Amino acid sequence: MIKLENIQKVFRTEEVETVALGGVSLEVKKGEFVAIMGPSGCGKSTLLNILGLLDNPTSGSYYLDGEEVGKLKESQRTKVRKGQIGFVFQSFNLIDELNVEENVELPLTYLGVPKKERKQRVEEVLRRMAISHRAHHFPQQLSGGQQQRVAIARAVVMNPKLILADEPTGNLDSKNGLEVMQLLTQLNQEGTTVVMVTHSERDAGYAQRIINLLDGQVVPEVKL
Amino acid sequence: MNIIRKGQGTFIKILSLAIGLTVGLVLIAKVQLERNYDCCIVDKEHVYELQETFQRKGQEPQQYGATSGGIAPVLAREIPEIQTATRYTGQFSEEKLTLENGNQHIFEEAIFADSCFFDIFATHVLQGDAKRILSTAGQCMISRRLSEKIGGEVVGQAFCFASAPMKPMTIGGVFDDYPENSRCSRYDILMSMPSMGTYAWDGTENLIGNDRYHSYVRMHPDADMDKVGSEIKQLLQRILPWDDLKQGGYTDVGCELVSVAGQRMKDTTVHTTCIILSVVAFVMLFTAVMNYILVVISLLVNRARQVALRKVLGAPRRDIYMMTLKEACIHLVVALAMMMLLLMAGRDWISELMGVGITTLFSQQTFVVLIVVCLIVLLCCGILPGVIYSHIPLTYAYRLYSENKRLWKLSLLAFQFVLSTMLLCVLSTIYRQYDYMLSKDTGYQYDRVAYVNVSALHGDSIYSLAREIERLPCVETTAAAYSLFCEFQSGDNVLLPGNPQELFNCANLFFAEEGLVETMGLEIVRGRDFKRLEHPGWTQEMLVDERFVQKMKEVAGIDDVIGRQFINATVGAEYPLIVVGVVKNFMLGSLVTREERPMMVANGNVYTHYIMIKLQDMTSENLQAVQQLCDRFYPDADLSVKPYAAELATCYNDTRHTRDMILIGCLASLLITLIGLIGYVRDEVQRRSRELAVRKVMGATMMELQALFLRSIAFIALPSVIIGVALGWYFSGLLMEQFADKLPLLWYVFAADAILVLLIIGIVVYLQTRQVANSNPIDYLKTE
């Protein structure tokens, strides 16, 4: 599903040039659950952003379902991203002005799904995430675990092929963290490919494969 | 407190204030000058202008803003309640005087004034005994500015007017210039009343006829005006030649006392203009203050912690107020300095627009009002932010200020949208009206007509010059004429031969020669044109217009005027004029000073002031060719060839000035509003950057993100613009009241204004949000 060939990402400012990724090559197969690990500043989030088409690599090739997507323009990236990739962030990134239902509905709106269907799918996913009773609450009225469940609901409501999770349990206590990991595992078992960035060995334990990054390079894979 | 720290929006705040203050204060000063008009009149509350009233048999009573020369002195002698009286009348305007040493100077106006002139119209007499000078024939007083132009010791010097070259006048004294906001502001030369006979027919003591004198009386403070009114009536009954008047067809003649206090503001045009200018000034100042507060609120995020910390450290609420007040004070001072620079840079233009100089606009007369306005602005800019800051909770000393105050900001923006839309609507109305006035069918063709003022030449010279001009290949026709159609026309009564009854009053164009009809593109509907005069002189042929024919039918029952003789009261019964032709009605005066009286003009090429010239094409080369010919023939006469259209346009200068003032107000208001809008959107983009990034990650396109902002602005902009259009409609109606001939208010023009404002708002929002909508979402998510 995902194939990266010699991906490089260099951040340039007026004075400094920082190599975030220095020739990363990897593959993620359909239905896999992969964890990306490494110390802070090793390029984990940069890699995830490139995988999620939020950013373009400086050089190298990125194939998503066999199509080269590494050199697309922003508008083209948006088109590819829509409906295919779901995101789960460490800080949830829910929109404060929208309630739970509206937050979850958002990706469907941008996909142009009819209102009736949207409502149905939102209800269904909220039920699945056991957060239906909070449908009309605003993010500030929820606990961290509930917020992350909403964020996952938002990520999966459009049935994406790929879920990218950036430290999904980073802001949660152990109980809520466990729940979130169980949810991601469940989604993976249902066929969704999951790529997760994490610092946590315990969370990485849920993945089928761990990719270790160090100074922007992939260190040899470890089969679990 | 750091006034110039980056990120405080200081420049935007000061710029908005400076623009608002510049336009607002100039307009308020102008209105104040109008309110304070004629401040030179001593004891204004008790000074009255005398206005002649009369009624002809079978006609409506009429009132005229002048009297015969003898009325004011007689009233002063006979009515004990009258403390003093004066009268004056204009004679020369904007021409040259030549001193004995040959030096020439242009002056504005020369009038005949009697010895009591300074008793009513007070100013400092700098040199000479005014009473004695104005009582002595051949003596005059001149203004300080003219005296400075002449230079040196002016008293005792003699000069001649260009249009009266052989009649010297001696300067006896100098008076200080009158304020620009007074009816005397243009008077440069006050000629003694006994000099009248030297320059014109002497009617200084007339009780009827020759009613060209502006007469004023000052009443005793305890005078009972009803009693004075009846005393005047009784006096006039006693002294006027009633038998002659009745024979002349008059059933009543009287004299009305019109108070000069507030007289200016009773003028519909002045009154309406003042209201409109006050509204524009208010809009400007209000918008500027709103914008100031908008920026303050937008920057709360940056300053909340600092203010909360001050409060934690023990700053009382008073100190917070003082802090904002001090800031506002410094901003205001800088804005005023910026305003001074703007005023200095545009002083000539502002003076032309306002009709008064910058020094008069910002003088003692307006000082207090302007200071009060500045104080109000200071209090608004200082107190309101103080109120907001003083309510910041102490806890914000430790965490990020998150209240967006969006409602406040949108409310302030809404006000700005309302006011800008309103001004744009008023502007479009006055623009249309001005264009309408300029393009209105006058009944004559003037596109290719130029004219030259030949007042300084004798009749023979005028005739020769007209013929020479006619020979130029670029000239089609010429005609010497006494007056321009767009000028105010003198009036004369018409009589039938052998009958002393004055039938009606006509706009008298006095003389014009054959060629006028063709040059001005008039249409003869009956009879014929004048016969061409081959020599300087005049004949008894007369052209009249259709109104004359109509009036003659109504008043004297005469159906056919062609070939009939009529008496022009000025020309006299010994020279009856014969109507040879009737021209189709055309516009005399302008749409502002429209002349409704019938018209008459006799055939003559002497006693004329202008040569009208129809060019093959109105080009600068052709104008130049005529100008060169005039200069070659009369190099000392300073003849100036001008397009007639330009002269007609000057009739609408007041409208143009009003239009330009509203234009400035509207542009400045829009500019301030856009500054506010840009600030608001920038602030919102910053505040919602994470949300935008999330939406983008969720698949929102650039257009969808921009639509978010457009929708939120449209929510406030749409109702605001509708209210603005409604207010614009109301004020446009008010503005149009001053025009007798006006365009109707058209709904689609207002709709176009509304669309334009919405479009501008939309474009600003689109451009402001373009960057963030285009940017990489992770840049904004990272900040979290």
Q: What is the ipTM of this complex?
A: 0.78
> CA dihedral in degrees (B283, B287, B288, B293; nearest 10)?
150
Lowest mean pLDDT among A81-95, A202-216, B3-17: B3-17
Q: String of b and e for B659-677 (b: at least 16 CB within 10 Å)?
A: bbbbbbbbbbbbbbbbbbb
Helix axes B702-736, B747-774, angle to 10 degrees: 150
A106, A159, A162, A167: best to mutate for the B interface, most B CBs within 10 A: A106
User: Do residue A110 and residue B699 have CB atoms under 8 angstroms apart?
Assistant: yes
* Sequence-separated (6 or more) residues with CB below 8 Å from residue B103: B150
Q: For residue B462, is it left (φ>0), alpha (ψ between -120 and 50) or beta?
A: alpha
Query: Pairing relation of β-strands B449-453 and B187-192?
Result: unpaired
For residue B15, the distance in angstroms to the closest alpha carbon of chain A comes to 33
Q: What is the three-class DSSP state of B543?
A: strand
Taking a C-beta distance cutoff of 8 angstroms, is the pair A180, A149 a contact?
Answer: yes
For residue A224, the distance in angstroms to the closest alpha carbon of chain B comes to 32
**Which residue's entry shows tokens 């941008």?**
A110
Helix axes B620-633, B459-471, angle to 10 degrees: 140
- Residue A162 φ then ψ, to 5°: -135, 135
Distance CA A169, CA B83 (A): 99
HEC per residue, B198-215:
HHCCCCCCCCCCCCCEEE
Taking a C-beta distance cutoff of 8 angstroms, is the pair B274, B35 a contact?
Answer: yes
User: Do residue B776 and residue A74 have CB atoms under 8 angstroms apart?
Assistant: yes
pLDDT given for residue B401 in this prediction = 53
Q: What percent of chain A stands above pLDDT 90?
A: 33
Q: What percent of chain A stands above pLDDT 70?
A: 98
pLDDT given for residue A41 in this prediction = 84
User: Do residue B778 and residue A54 have CB atoms under 8 angstroms apart?
Assistant: yes
Could you say which of A54, A75, A97 has the minimum Cβ distance to residue B697?
A: A54
pLDDT, tens digit, 9 for 90 and up, residues B718-752: 999 999 999 999 999 988 887 878 889 999 999 99
CA closest to B783 among chain A residues: A91
* Sequence-separated (6 or more) residues with CB below 8 Å from residue B283: B419, B420, B422, B423, B665, B669
Q: What are B684's two structure tokens?
A: 């919102």
User: Do residue B701 and residue A74 have CB atoms under 8 angstroms apart?
Assistant: no
CA closest to A90 among chain B residues: B784
Contact A96/B at CB under 8 A: yes
User: Do residue B699 and residue A78 have CB atoms under 8 angstroms apart?
Assistant: yes
| pTM, 2 dp | 0.73
pLDDT given for residue B6 in this prediction = 55
- Give mean pLDDT, residues B574-603: 90
Contact A95/B at CB under 8 A: yes
Which residues of chain B make contact with A58, given a CB cutoff of 8 A?
A: none
Which residues of chain A make contact with B697, given a CB cutoff of 8 A?
A: 52, 54, 81, 87, 93
pLDDT, tens digit, 9 for 90 and up, residues A111-130: 889 999 999 999 998 998 88
**For residue A145, is pLDDT > 90?**
no
Residues 265 to 294 of B: which have CB under 8 A from any A CB?
none
- Give mean pLDDT, residues A79-106: 86
Distance CA B285, CA B423 (A): 13
pLDDT given for residue B371 in this prediction = 94
Which residues of chain B make contact with A96, given a CB cutoff of 8 A?
A: 691
Could you say which of B699, B702, B776 has the minimum Cβ distance to residue A81?
A: B699
User: Do residue A55 and residue B778 have CB atoms under 8 angstroms apart?
Assistant: yes
User: Do residue A93 and residue B781 have CB atoms under 8 angstroms apart?
Assistant: yes
pLDDT given for residue B296 in this prediction = 80
Lowest mean pLDDT among B130-134, B180-184, B209-213, B478-482: B209-213
Taking a C-beta distance cutoff of 8 angstroms, is the pair B139, B172 a contact?
Answer: yes
Which residues of chain A make contact with B700, given a CB cutoff of 8 A?
A: 78, 110
Taking a C-beta distance cutoff of 8 angstroms, is the pair B106, B153 a contact?
Answer: no
Q: Which of B562, B784, B755, B768 is nearest to B683 (CA)?
A: B768
* Sequence-separated (6 or more) residues with CB below 8 Å from residue B315: none
User: Do residue B784 and residue A93 have CB atoms under 8 angstroms apart?
Assistant: yes
**For residue B687, is pLDDT > 90?**
no
* Sequence-separated (6 or more) residues with CB below 8 Å from residue A13: none
Distance CA B557, CA B61 (A): 21
User: Do residue A111 and residue B699 have CB atoms under 8 angstroms apart?
Assistant: yes
User: How many beta-carbon pairs below 8 A join chains A and B?
Assistant: 49
pLDDT given for residue B783 in this prediction = 44
Contact B743/A at CB under 8 A: no
Q: What percent of chain B stands above pLDDT 70?
A: 95
Distance CA B662, CA B556 (A): 49
Q: What is the DSSP letter of B472?
A: S
pLDDT tier at B782, thresholds 50, 70, 90:
low
Which residues of chain B make contact with A110, given a CB cutoff of 8 A?
A: 695, 698-701, 704
Task: Pick B351 or B491 by higher pLDDT.
Answer: B351
pLDDT tier at B784, thresholds 50, 70, 90:
very low
For residue A50, the distance in angstroms to the closest alpha carbon of chain B comes to 10
- Residue B47 φ then ψ, to 5°: -105, 135
Q: What is the three-class DSSP state of B500?
A: coil
**For residue B537, is pLDDT > 70?**
yes
Could you say which of B690, B700, B702 has the minimum Cβ distance to residue A93?
A: B690
User: Do residue A89 and residue B690 have CB atoms under 8 angstroms apart?
Assistant: no
Q: What percent of chain B stands above pLDDT 90?
A: 51
Distances (CA, A) of A126 to A131, A132, A147, A154, A157: 5, 5, 12, 9, 9
- Residue B571 φ then ψ, to 5°: -70, -35
CA closest to B703 among chain A residues: A75
Distances (CA, A) of A115 to A105, A108, B697: 9, 9, 21
Adjacent-strand bridge partners of B214: B88
Rg (chain B; Cα; Å): 33
User: Do residue B695 and residue A95 have CB atoms under 8 angstroms apart?
Assistant: yes
User: Do residue A87 and residue B697 have CB atoms under 8 angstroms apart?
Assistant: yes
Mean pLDDT of all residues in chain B?
Answer: 88
- Which sign, positive or negative, has the C-alpha torsion B24, B30, B35, B39? positive
Could you say which of B693, B704, B778 has the minimum Cβ distance to residue A110?
A: B704
pLDDT, tens digit, 9 for 90 and up, residues B305-338: 677 766 666 777 777 788 888 888 999 999 999 9
Q: What is the DSSP letter of B30?
A: H
Helical ranges in B90-224 per DSSP H: 117-120, 130-133, 144-150, 196-199
Contact A92/B at CB under 8 A: no
- Which sign, positive or negative, has the C-alpha torsion B549, B554, B556, B559? positive
Q: Strand order of the sheet with strand A33-37? A: A85-88, A162-166, A193-197, A33-37, A209-214, A217-223
Lowest mean pLDDT among A201-210, B274-283, B681-690, B731-740: B681-690
- Give mean pLDDT, residues B55-60: 81
Please provide the DSSP assignment of B278-336 as one string: HHHHHHHHHHHHHHHHHHHHHTHHHHHHHHHHHHHTT--HHHHHHHHHHHHHHHHHHHH
User: Do residue A93 and residue B778 have CB atoms under 8 angstroms apart?
Assistant: no
Distance CA A164, CA A33 (A): 10
pLDDT, tens digit, 9 for 90 and up, residues B606-626: 788 899 999 999 999 999 999
Q: What is the DSSP letter of A79?
A: H
Taking a C-beta distance cutoff of 8 angstroms, is the pair B744, B750 a contact?
Answer: no
- Give mean pLDDT, residues B31-58: 91
Q: What is the three-class DSSP state of B469?
A: helix
Taking a C-beta distance cutoff of 8 angstroms, is the pair B81, B154 a contact?
Answer: no
Task: Pick B643 or B638 by higher pLDDT.
Answer: B643
Contact A82/B at CB under 8 A: yes
pLDDT given for residue B355 in this prediction = 84
